[in-house]
Chain A
Amino acid sequence: MNHQITARGVVKSYGNSPALRGVDFAAARGEVVAITGPSGSGKSTLLHCLAGIVRPDAGSVHLDGQRIDDTSEAHRSRLRRSRFGVLFQFGHLVPELTAAENVAMPLLLAGVRRREAVTAARNWLERFDVADLAGKRPGEVSGGQAQRVAAARALVTEPEVLFADEPTGALDTLASEQVMTQLTRVARSAATTVLLVTHDARTAAYADREVVVRDGTVQGPPPLAGTPGPGAPAALRSTP
């Protein structure tokens, strides 16, 4: 399989506390992968290493075969602006700006003209069914609506990889469902790879597959061996 983003033997500690103890990971272009595990398992640290936010102490991270973890902070920052999108648990929208201005911001920072940026922002809000909120500020919308605006902002630059860290962690069941349904639908239609950290199996079930991190290591079959097929048991005793 031709992997787009890979990690090999990634080790990361914070002080004397090891967060990752030699993790291998791989995702193909257009895949939606859930990275799950208990609190403190290292799943967010793995995501941050893959996104170039955190530099591993050892091991390597590659994007389309090019090593990215040993490049300068400025290079990784450019990479995050141009080829990556990032979505956090609390959206981190700018409270003084409207939804449309928030979504347009990454395009404006990339030098796109204001009128084009705002038009694109409105299109992306439309794709997340929140076009009617374009003129509202984050404080005037619900948590679920704000997170859909944040998802539109993360995708407005049409990134190759979207990194989402607990994107539904602060939402109730129905708001989570709306965010995940639209996020995965939009990402799949654009063939955007999504790496999704979550502690919630209901959110992980939107992904094509799951990678479980426990105590800083990946559980189960080695992810570099390829994507597991849909060969799971057809009948489970616990299902209706």
Chain B
Amino acid sequence: MSLGHVLLGLLVPGERHGYELKRHYDARFPAARPLASAQVYATLARLARDGFVQQQEPERVGGPDRTAYALTAEGRAELQRWLEEVEPPSPFVANPLAVKVTVAVLIAGGDAARDYLHRQRAAHLERMRVYTRTKTAPGAALTEVLAADYALEHLNADLHWIDTALARVAALTEEITP
């Protein structure tokens, strides 16, 4: 995900100061890590350099100077191009769970691998319960629900893999142990 494009999107309703953008980002994407202010200003500087945003005249309202940024026509076109671009599915999914199963078989045999998979399954499901509570809480924002849906589907895919791995442990043990 490109932070620059997200900030361009948050500028569509109108010009905003860097701090306002940070606040809107953190509120819109609660599942993401909160943005560092320095990251926001560095990204805005890059967007201004590329002509995607325009820096407005600084204004002072009872405190330090504040600078607002406005989306330019080029910025809007870039945003549109980004939205039309499909995210390439990752060709390789790093799977630390698979590595751990293999190592468990090597050092302690199939039963150790099964024990690990059962414990991992329980931990995954506990995390799924947390996301389920988040998205079904009264008044949950749709952005929170969508983020929880995404996390739940990924955890669910891991669980499918864990179930398949459990069914393959015996064969795997035969293959990789002398």
Contacts and interface: CB of A to CB of B under 8 A. Distances in A.
Interface string B129-143: 101100010000000
Interface string B148-169: 0011111110110001001000
A200 B127 CA distance: 15
Interface in B61-110: 96-97
Contact of B125 (A185, A201, A238): A201
Contacts of B153: 202
Nearest to A185: B136
A236 interface: yes
Contact of B132 (A205, A219, A230): A205
B124 interface: yes
B128 interface: yes
Question: What's the dominant secondary structure at chain B's contact region?
Answer: helix
Interface residues of A, number: 26
Given A201-B125, A239-B151, 6 more contacts: A201-B128, A202-B156, A205-B129, A210-B122, A232-B126, A238-B155
Interface of A: 38, 177, 181, 184-185, 200-202, 204-208, 210, 212, 214, 219-220, 230, 232-233, 236-240
26 contacts: A177-B136, A181-B136, A185-B136, A201-B156, A201-B159, A202-B128, A202-B152, A202-B156, A204-B125, A204-B128, A205-B129, A206-B132, A206-B136, A210-B122, A210-B125, A212-B121, A232-B122, A232-B123, A232-B126, A232-B127, A236-B124, A238-B97, A239-B154, A240-B31, A240-B147, A240-B151
